[in-house]
A and B are shown apart, each in its own frame.
Chain A
Amino acid sequence: SQTIHQWPATLVQPVGSPLSLECTVEGTSNPNLYWYRQAAGRGLQLLFYSVGIGQISSEVPQNLSASRPQDRQFILSSKKLLLSDSGFYLCAWSARVPNEKLFFGSGTQLSVL
């Protein structure tokens, strides 16, 4: 069966520090991968998605970047965090076929102070 791992679960970082969140998927090949953010009082917003190694699409302009160095690995990064980067970050995957469900990781609660 397929599983998705996301870490760390919580993170407290000072403004201006770098960020690296990692997500890996097991039990499947060639998944579509996604990073979503859930900010306090706001809905889930798609940040990045990837349909293959090295292929990254950004949905909103922001202080973050994403990379996919391996087929089942997705990384969210920032060189200098802003207060507005605080939120609950969720990695997700779906099979690369139509009408497949989206499966989420357990999330990372990021607090930028």
Chain B
Amino acid sequence: KQEVTQIPAALSVPEGENLVLNCSFTDSAIYNLQWFRQDPGKGLTSLLLIQSSQREQTSGRLNASLDKSSGRSTLYIAASQPGDSATYLCAGSYGSGNTGKLIFGQGTTLQVKP
């Protein structure tokens, strides 16, 4: 069974700290992996997509890595800000023909304190 797990479920850090969110997946035959941000009561915003042939992707203060052999992905947030407070979800796609069919982790809720 294909599963995606995120640890920890919640994280609280002071402003300015660098942090890493973890995501693990059971099936290494992943096609791509996406990281999303969700604010309370809102839809999801796509942050980064890493193709199976890639090792990492960067966007501003965000860097996501993918290690298929170990079944892990990480989202690195540099110099965290209170505006980064949200739930972060990772999701894996296992089909090249329909990459919107995603298996989601439960998310990590991040709080950045001023």
Contact = CB atoms under 8 A, between A and B. Distances in A.
Interface in B60-105: 89, 91, 96-102, 104-105
A51 interface: yes
Interface of A: 6, 32, 34, 42-46, 49, 51, 59, 88, 90, 92-94, 98-107, 109
Contacts of A46: 101-102
B44 A90 contact: yes
A88 B96 CA distance: 27
Interface of B: 31-32, 34, 36, 41-46, 49, 51, 89, 91, 96-102, 104-107
Contacts of B106: 42-43
25 contacts: A6-B43, A32-B98, A32-B100, A42-B106, A43-B89, A43-B105, A43-B107, A44-B91, A44-B102, A59-B101, A88-B41, A92-B44, A93-B100, A94-B100, A98-B97, A100-B49, A100-B99, A101-B46, A101-B49, A102-B46, A104-B45, A105-B43, A107-B41, A107-B43, A109-B41
